[in-house]
Structure 1
Amino acid sequence: MASYGGTTQKCKACEKTVYLVDELTVDNKVYHRACFRCHHCKGTLKLSNYSSFEGVLYCQPHFDQLFKMTGSLDKSFEGAPKTARSYEVPHN
Protein backbone atom coordinates (compact mmCIF):
# COMPACT_ATOMS: atom_id res chain seq x y z
CA MET A 1 0.00 0.00 0.00
CA ALA A 2 1.44 3.38 -0.99
CA SER A 3 1.82 6.22 1.45
CA TYR A 4 1.10 9.74 0.24
CA GLY A 5 2.88 11.59 3.01
CA GLY A 6 -0.02 11.42 5.42
CA THR A 7 0.55 11.59 9.14
CA THR A 8 -1.62 10.90 12.12
CA GLN A 9 -0.97 14.44 13.33
CA LYS A 10 -3.80 16.95 13.42
CA CYS A 11 -3.52 20.68 12.84
CA LYS A 12 -3.74 22.63 16.11
CA ALA A 13 -5.89 25.27 14.40
CA CYS A 14 -8.39 23.22 12.37
CA GLU A 15 -8.01 19.71 13.84
CA LYS A 16 -7.74 18.13 10.36
CA THR A 17 -4.99 15.73 9.25
CA VAL A 18 -1.77 17.44 8.23
CA TYR A 19 0.14 15.97 5.28
CA LEU A 20 3.92 16.29 5.26
CA VAL A 21 3.92 18.55 2.20
CA ASP A 22 1.79 21.12 4.10
CA GLU A 23 3.17 20.58 7.62
CA LEU A 24 4.55 23.39 9.76
CA THR A 25 5.74 22.54 13.29
CA VAL A 26 5.94 25.39 15.79
CA ASP A 27 6.56 24.97 19.52
CA ASN A 28 5.98 21.22 19.12
CA LYS A 29 2.54 21.87 17.62
CA VAL A 30 1.63 20.97 14.05
CA TYR A 31 -0.21 23.34 11.70
CA HIS A 32 -1.15 23.46 8.04
CA ARG A 33 0.88 26.28 6.50
CA ALA A 34 -2.38 28.08 5.67
CA CYS A 35 -3.63 27.72 9.29
CA PHE A 36 -0.57 29.45 10.80
CA ARG A 37 -2.38 32.79 11.16
CA CYS A 38 -2.78 35.65 13.61
CA HIS A 39 -5.73 35.06 15.94
CA HIS A 40 -6.68 38.76 15.76
CA CYS A 41 -6.34 39.76 12.08
CA LYS A 42 -6.14 36.28 10.46
CA GLY A 43 -3.00 37.37 8.58
CA THR A 44 -0.58 34.60 7.57
CA LEU A 45 2.36 34.37 9.96
CA LYS A 46 6.02 33.61 9.31
CA LEU A 47 8.32 31.55 11.50
CA SER A 48 10.71 34.49 11.61
CA ASN A 49 8.26 36.92 13.19
CA TYR A 50 5.32 35.78 15.29
CA SER A 51 4.27 35.75 18.93
CA SER A 52 2.40 33.23 21.00
CA PHE A 53 0.44 33.66 24.23
CA GLU A 54 -0.87 30.49 25.88
CA GLY A 55 -0.77 28.73 22.51
CA VAL A 56 -2.65 31.50 20.67
CA LEU A 57 -0.75 32.93 17.71
CA TYR A 58 -0.41 36.63 16.90
CA CYS A 59 1.43 38.76 14.35
CA GLN A 60 3.98 41.01 16.02
CA PRO A 61 1.98 44.27 15.59
CA HIS A 62 -1.16 42.78 17.19
CA PHE A 63 0.80 41.08 19.94
CA ASP A 64 2.37 44.45 20.77
CA GLN A 65 -1.00 46.22 20.59
CA LEU A 66 -2.91 43.68 22.65
CA PHE A 67 -0.34 42.93 25.35
CA LYS A 68 2.66 45.22 25.49
CA MET A 69 0.78 48.54 25.53
CA THR A 70 -0.36 47.84 29.09
CA GLY A 71 3.24 47.36 30.18
CA SER A 72 2.40 43.96 31.63
CA LEU A 73 0.71 40.82 30.45
CA ASP A 74 -0.94 40.55 33.88
CA LYS A 75 -3.03 43.66 33.17
CA SER A 76 -4.41 42.18 29.96
CA PHE A 77 -5.88 39.10 31.59
CA GLU A 78 -7.48 38.26 34.89
CA GLY A 79 -5.97 35.56 37.06
CA ALA A 80 -2.47 34.26 37.59
CA PRO A 81 0.57 35.78 35.89
CA LYS A 82 1.06 34.51 32.36
CA THR A 83 4.04 34.13 30.10
CA ALA A 84 4.30 35.09 26.47
CA ARG A 85 6.75 34.11 23.79
CA SER A 86 7.87 36.43 21.05
CA TYR A 87 10.05 35.34 18.16
CA GLU A 88 11.97 37.61 15.88
CA VAL A 89 14.89 36.67 13.66
CA PRO A 90 17.48 39.45 13.29
CA HIS A 91 17.74 40.85 9.81
CA ASN A 92 21.23 40.73 8.30
Structure 2
Amino acid sequence: MATLGGAQQKCMACNKTVYLVDKLTADNRIYHKACFRCHHCKGTLKLSNFNSFEGVLYCRPHFDQLFKRTGSLEKSFEGKNNL
Protein backbone atom coordinates (compact mmCIF):
# COMPACT_ATOMS: atom_id res chain seq x y z
CA MET A 1 0.00 0.00 0.00
CA ALA A 2 1.50 3.31 -1.05
CA THR A 3 1.33 6.62 0.79
CA LEU A 4 0.22 9.86 -0.81
CA GLY A 5 3.78 10.50 -1.99
CA GLY A 6 3.91 7.06 -3.60
CA ALA A 7 6.46 5.57 -1.20
CA GLN A 8 5.84 3.07 1.56
CA GLN A 9 6.69 4.11 5.09
CA LYS A 10 9.00 1.63 6.82
CA CYS A 11 9.44 1.02 10.54
CA MET A 12 12.90 2.03 11.81
CA ALA A 13 13.01 -1.04 14.07
CA CYS A 14 11.87 -3.87 11.79
CA ASN A 15 12.00 -2.24 8.33
CA LYS A 16 8.50 -3.47 7.48
CA THR A 17 5.67 -1.33 6.09
CA VAL A 18 3.84 0.77 8.67
CA TYR A 19 0.15 1.41 8.08
CA LEU A 20 -1.60 4.47 9.49
CA VAL A 21 -3.51 2.54 12.17
CA ASP A 22 -0.25 1.21 13.68
CA LYS A 23 1.97 4.26 13.05
CA LEU A 24 3.93 6.01 15.80
CA THR A 25 6.35 8.86 15.08
CA ALA A 26 9.16 9.73 17.50
CA ASP A 27 12.28 11.82 16.83
CA ASN A 28 11.06 12.21 13.22
CA ARG A 29 11.26 8.44 12.77
CA ILE A 30 8.41 6.04 12.10
CA TYR A 31 7.74 2.88 14.13
CA HIS A 32 5.04 0.28 14.59
CA LYS A 33 3.50 0.75 18.02
CA ALA A 34 4.69 -2.76 18.94
CA CYS A 35 8.27 -2.02 17.78
CA PHE A 36 8.62 1.10 19.93
CA ARG A 37 10.65 -0.64 22.67
CA CYS A 38 13.65 -0.04 24.89
CA HIS A 39 16.85 -1.38 23.33
CA HIS A 40 18.10 -2.56 26.73
CA CYS A 41 15.08 -4.20 28.41
CA LYS A 42 12.71 -4.56 25.42
CA GLY A 43 9.95 -2.87 27.44
CA THR A 44 7.20 -1.07 25.54
CA LEU A 45 7.75 2.67 25.35
CA LYS A 46 5.36 5.60 25.20
CA LEU A 47 6.03 9.01 23.72
CA SER A 48 6.02 10.40 27.25
CA ASN A 49 8.61 8.00 28.72
CA PHE A 50 11.45 7.42 26.27
CA ASN A 51 14.88 8.81 25.44
CA SER A 52 17.04 8.13 22.43
CA PHE A 53 20.72 8.37 21.68
CA GLU A 54 22.13 8.04 18.16
CA GLY A 55 18.79 6.65 16.99
CA VAL A 56 18.62 3.94 19.68
CA LEU A 57 15.56 3.97 21.95
CA TYR A 58 15.68 3.56 25.73
CA CYS A 59 13.23 3.74 28.60
CA ARG A 60 14.13 6.58 30.96
CA PRO A 61 15.44 4.35 33.78
CA HIS A 62 17.85 2.51 31.47
CA PHE A 63 18.90 5.68 29.69
CA ASP A 64 19.80 7.19 33.06
CA GLN A 65 21.55 3.99 34.16
CA LEU A 66 23.57 3.60 30.98
CA PHE A 67 24.50 7.20 30.23
CA LYS A 68 23.79 9.83 32.85
CA ARG A 69 25.02 8.13 36.01
CA THR A 70 28.34 7.03 34.49
CA GLY A 71 28.98 10.27 32.69
CA SER A 72 29.76 8.32 29.53
CA LEU A 73 27.57 10.52 27.37
CA GLU A 74 30.17 12.50 25.43
CA LYS A 75 28.27 13.37 22.29
CA SER A 76 25.53 15.94 22.00
CA PHE A 77 21.98 14.88 21.37
CA GLU A 78 20.63 15.44 17.90
CA GLY A 79 19.38 19.00 17.68
CA LYS A 80 20.63 19.99 21.14
CA ASN A 81 23.80 21.76 22.19
CA ASN A 82 26.26 20.44 24.76
CA LEU A 83 26.13 22.38 27.99
Normalising by the residue count of structure 1, what TM-score does the alignment of the two structures yield?
A: 0.74
Return the offset for 1:73: 0.5
Q: Which runs of 5+ in 2 are unaligned?
A: 79-83
1:50 is aligned to 50
What stretches of structure 1 move > 2 A for 4+ residues in a row?
Answer: none
For 1:2-21, what aligned pairs fall within 5 Å after superposition?
A: 7=3, 8-21=8-21
Aligned partners of 1:54 and 1:83 also within 8 Å: no
- Percent identity over the alignment? 76
Return the offset for 1:72: 4.3
Equivalent residue pairs, number: 74
**Which of 56, 76, 80 matches 1:83?**
76
Instruction: Specify which structure has the higher proportion of strand.
Output: 1
Greater RCO (CA < 8 Å, at least 6 residues apart): 1
Cα RMSD, aligned residues only: 1.6
Normalising by the residue count of structure 2, what TM-score does the alignment of the two structures yield?
A: 0.81
